[in-house]
A and B are shown apart, each in its own frame.
Chain A
């Protein structure tokens, strides 16, 4: 699809008309600034219009302000599909099921940490296995893995990795009830056992940060954030377990797509009617993937706490503000044409951003809205935002999940040298530790869009509102 087909609806809102493609059931809608429109790869718009071809999709196929090229769905893609007359698509969730982010707030201030961030990051790096080929320290057996994937973060807390409040501050309380371990292949389980409690590679990280600006006092107070406070961000997902669940089911649903006579413009959008056995089995397996990811982030959280306590003292506190999922399909009720409708909301590289008073968010945040965490990059700030009523009305309660790349990994390695990037960041007071220099080059700040520009669009449109800005002090990468 050519960029020229985009129709500007208002300052930051663009539409792909429904007649752009014959198969589109609804128009596409994208939130971008004029500057970002030109950074987004043209094929991304094609992918947004492809999402609109899924049976049962409601109102718009949506792309959040970080929209960029993916496969099947674009990154930043949201499609809400009629649960009674639609489909589920594993490609609309992605391989890293429930890849997500959580932020822990500490009782430390920037001054107490800044001169020590290098040693602290080294400790975290030693404590949490990361990088390709790193192995779990947990030695789970098959029975225990089944418990992990059916109980998620609640399993981890029961096993002593954290406290009850932790899962209370996760979407779904860290446990998808729909999970059924019998719907997961042996292969996925074989990949899951050796990887629980590992960070992974690529864009996954542990970051020590501090609050350098409070934008919304009231919400910051509700979230327990204040200026100069040190926070820790954890970004990881369901590891090889989730990748295998998706691999298995994309293939199964590719066959189902043909069997049910569903026409889709991209094979990676393979899907099945929501009431079919294929769809139900996928949903139960995807829920296992989501639980694995919550358990993974929870176990890692526990080790981060141990590392901090050993490094500072036993009184050091790290409380979980909230944990958000990026790649998931969820049963939710939203207003469509003035009426409540049960939907299967697919978010692929997008964050749920429920507004105030929504029953799904913890009571203590109810008056302000759900906390939303948007990671920046190694050299640029992350943001805490809050969900809004506007998001409920316009994006099925969704916002962006990050800044998104603007340069491929190959290109980044040509442009940057890991050691140089590391030195530059170190001069800014940011210590980066990774398994290899090439990882730092791949993840160089210049390979990403400016997170502030992306978050500003989300804020200005109103699909989430800025609460606090978090500056990086040190990062451990896989």
Chain B
């Protein structure tokens, strides 16, 4: 198994490529890459859980909203996450995501942060499936 995600070179921001055997796994790994930009996620304990439900018309928007929601919870509620479970379904009109993010309250006495992720962007956002799923996106840092 290849690594779940890798960071690509970008001068000012953070660009990553996340992989998954399934689209769900690729979404989970994208979330991990987002938090890994800010902190060594192995230092984040899995103490609290947030449920996230989203609905969109296309898969790119679903990713945009998924990452945006996690950044929101991080920024407004001061929770940092390290583990994620996602289930995605699709009917005729909509994509639906039922997910959970697991982590803990920010504790500045033990969490060492790098720069902050401000947002996910649509720039060069790419979700594709060859042998497995692959997501490329750029975070504003």
**Which of A71, A190, A442, A478 is close to B123, meaning CB atoms less than 8 Å apart?**
A71
Answer yes or no: A87 CB below 8 A from chain B CBs. Answer: no
Does B11 contact A406, Cβ atoms closer than 8 Å?
Answer: yes
- A243-B75, A243-B118 are known contacts. Are A409 and B14 too (CB-CB below 8 A)? yes
User: Among B13, B77, B123, which residue has the most Cβ atoms of chain A within 10 A?
Assistant: B123
Contacts of B120 in A (CB 8 A): 247
Which residue of the partner chain B has the closest CB to A349?
B12
- B95 contacts chain A at the CB level, 8 A cutoff: no
Nearest CB of B to A126, in Å: 14
- B125 within 8 Å of A by Cβ? yes
**Given A191-B75, A194-B76, A410-B7, does the pair A132, B122 have CB atoms closer than 8 Å?**
no
Tell me whether B68 is interfacial, beta carbon within 8 Å.
yes
* A270 located at the interface, meaning its Cβ lies under 8 Å from any Cβ of chain B in the complex: yes
A273 at the interface (CB under 8 A from B): no
- Is the Cβ of A268 less than 8 Å from the Cβ of B76? no
Contact status of A254 and B61, CB under 8 A, knowing A68-B12, A267-B125, A408-B11: yes
Do B123 and A439 touch (CB < 8 A)? no
CB distance from A14 to the nearest CB of B (A): 19
Shortest beta-carbon distance from A270 to chain B in Å: 7
What distance in Å separates the Cβ of B120 from its nearest Cβ neighbour in chain A? Answer: 8
Q: Closest Cβ of chain A: how far from B17's Cβ, in Å?
A: 14
Interface residues of B in 84-126 (CB under 8 A from A): 106, 108, 111-116, 118-125
- What are the residues of chain A within 8 A of B113 when measuring CB–CB? 131-133, 201, 435-436
Inter-chain contact A270/B122, CB cutoff 8 Å: yes
Residues of B within 8 A of A131 (CB): 108, 113
**A407 in the interface (beta carbon within 8 A):** yes
Given A133-B108, A268-B122, A408–B9 Cβ distance below 8 Å? yes
CB of A70 within 8 Å of the partner chain:
yes
Which residues of A sit under 8 angstroms from B11, Cβ to Cβ? 41, 68-69, 405-408
Is B141 an interface residue when CB atoms closer than 8 A count as contact? yes
CA distance A187 to B118 in the complex (A): 14
Interface size class of B (residues with CB under 8 A): 35 or more
Among B12, B14, B68, B112: residue with most chain A CB under 10 A? B12
Are A267 and B123 in contact, with the CB atoms below 8 A?
yes
Contact of A247 among B60, B111, B119, B123 (CB under 8 A): B119
In the complex, are the beta carbons of A94 and B140 less than 8 A apart?
Answer: yes
User: Given B60, B64, B140, which contacts A95 in the complex, CB threshold below 8 Å?
Assistant: B140
The answer to whether A266 has its CB under 8 Å from any CB of chain B is yes
Asked if residues A240 and B76 are in contact (CB atoms below 8 Å), the reply is: yes
CB closest chain-A residue, reference B65: A251
B125 and A133 within 8 A (CB): no
Flag whether B135 is at the interface (Cβ < 8 A).
no
**With contact pairs A201-B113, A201-B116 given, residues A409 and B141 touching in the complex (Cβ less than 8 Å):** yes
Contact A71 B75 (CB under 8 A): no
Mask, B1-42, CB within 8 Å of A = 1, is 000000101111110000000000000000000000010000
- State whether A201 and B122 are in contact (beta carbons under 8 Å apart), knowing that A41-B11, A69-B12, A408-B10 are contacts in the complex: no
> Using a CB-CB cutoff of 8 Å, which residues 395-430 of chain A contact chain B?
404-411
Q: Is the CB of B13 within 8 A of A71?
A: yes
- Per-residue B-contact encoding for A423-450, CB less than 8 Å = 1, 0 else: 0000000000001101100100000000
B111 nearest CB neighbor, chain A only: A133
A132-B113, A133-B78, A133-B106 given; A244·B72 CB < 8 A: yes
Is A356 an interface residue, CB under 8 A from the partner? Answer: no
CA A344 to CA B122, docked complex, whole Å? 23
From A436, which residue of chain B is reached at the shortest CB distance?
A: B112
Chain A residues with Cβ under 8 A from B60's Cβ?
A: 267
Residues on B with beta carbons closer than 8 Å to the beta carbon of A323: none
Q: Is the CB of B114 within 8 A of A409?
A: yes
Report B-chain residues with C-beta under 8 Å of the C-beta of A71.
13, 121, 123-124, 138, 140
Within 8 A of A (CB), among B46-77: 60-61, 64-65, 68, 71-72, 75-77
Partner among B7, B10, B76, B119 whose Cβ is within 8 Å of the Cβ of A187: B76
Bound together, the chains give a CA A303 to CA B65 distance in angstroms of 36
Task: Name A41's closest neighbour in chain B (CB-CB).
Answer: B11
Q: How far is the CA of A96 from the CA of B121 in the complex (A)?
A: 13
**Interchain CB contact under 8 A, B114 and A438:** yes
Interface residues of A in 68-90 (CB under 8 A from B): 68-72, 75
Closest chain B CB from A404 CB (angstroms)? 8
Determine whether the beta carbon of B119 is less than 8 Å from that of A243.
Answer: yes
A246 at the interface (CB under 8 A from B): yes
Report B-chain residues with C-beta under 8 Å of the C-beta of A369. none
| A462 on interface, CB distance cutoff 8 Å | no
A-B CB contact pairs (8 Å), 12 listed: A71-B121, A95-B121, A132-B115, A132-B116, A191-B75, A244-B72, A244-B75, A247-B119, A251-B64, A266-B122, A270-B122, A407-B11
| 18 more A-B residue pairs beyond the given contacts A131-B108, A132-B113, with a C-beta to C-beta distance below 8 A | A69-B12, A70-B13, A71-B123, A91-B122, A133-B108, A190-B77, A200-B116, A240-B76, A240-B118, A243-B118, A267-B123, A267-B125, A268-B123, A404-B12, A408-B9, A408-B12, A409-B115, A438-B112
Report the 7 A-B pairs with minimum CB-CB distance, sorted nearest first: A71-B123, A267-B122, A132-B113, A268-B123, A240-B75, A133-B106, A190-B76
